[in-house]
Amino acid sequence: MSDVQFHEMSDGRRLAYRHSRGRGPAMVFLPGYMSDMDGGKATAIFARAQTEGRECLLLDYSGCGQSSGEFADGSLSIWRDEVLALIDTCIDGPVVVIGSSMGGWLMLLVAEALGDRLAGLVGIAAAPDFADWGYSDEQKAQLAEGETIYEDNPYGPEPTPTHAKFWQDAKTHLRLKGPIEISAPVRLLHGQRDDDVPWQISMRLAEHLRSDDVQIALVKDGDHRLSREQDIALLQRQVWSLLD
């Protein structure tokens, strides 16, 4: 892995990223909620990109990983703008955006902004609109009142927070209510034993995308992370199919 670099936003936020230069289209990996660029899927893609001389960008959203800021201040709007700023700083040509879980929602917002630069999308247990389908009516009422809610975290000892600012902003970015004007090729991977994001969400996403080139790979025994060796091998096959 290359050394971590930092990009400073206009308000002083410092965004940590890793950039492998090489031939394009460039791969950009968007982590999930409360995740960072050191995850197994991101690092596997980056390592292969380096070996093959391909361009790849990993990053930490503000409030996550090695980037500055507080997680409670983050939102889809803020993180989308950070991703776009890093793409503009590091990458000149076309881009394949890879989004994991929440990153699979964020990749849609980034893709819409990229326009003709978008070469393809790869969603891993993509979770668009989870602000809508992922919470009970009681939780939504609490969030609407400005409260932070906490849920059990199967991946660590601390409960997972959802801050009202994040939820309220996310409600402005719902994409499964109508057509999604993205025509680039799309590959969606989803485990059918995913306890966090139902695999049917990927089916709904495929229906709403304008693109005719949408393929879904369902992993019958796959969980939400899809981080086993065979899962990462499948992910790389899907990503690399869009590069050439």
- What per-residue confidence (pLDDT) applies to 43? 97
- What is the percentage of the chain residues whose pLDDT exceeds 90? 95
101 is catalytic: yes
**Strand, helix or coil at 122?**
strand
Q: pLDDT tens digits for 82-116?
A: 999 999 999 999 999 999 999 999 999 999 999 99
Catalytic residue among 20, 35, 100, 101: 101
163 is catalytic: no
208 is catalytic: no
Average pLDDT, the chain: 96
**Torsion angle in degrees (nearest 10) through CA of 63, 61, 180, 226:** -100
Mean pLDDT within 172-179: 97
In order of their start, the domains of the chain are 5-240 (3.40.50.1820)
- Residue 1 pLDDT greater than 80, yes or no: no
Span between the terminal Cα atoms of the chain, in Å: 24
Mean pLDDT within 61-86: 97
Mean pLDDT within 48-69: 97
Task: Look up the pTM and report it.
Answer: 0.96
Q: How far apart are CA 190 and CA 126, in angstroms?
A: 8
Q: How far apart are CA 130 and CA 133, in angstroms?
A: 5
Q: How far apart are CA 226 and CA 23, in angstroms?
A: 27
- What per-residue confidence (pLDDT) applies to 227? 95
Q: How far apart are CA 167 and CA 3, in angstroms?
A: 33
Catalytic residue among 62, 194, 208, 231: 194
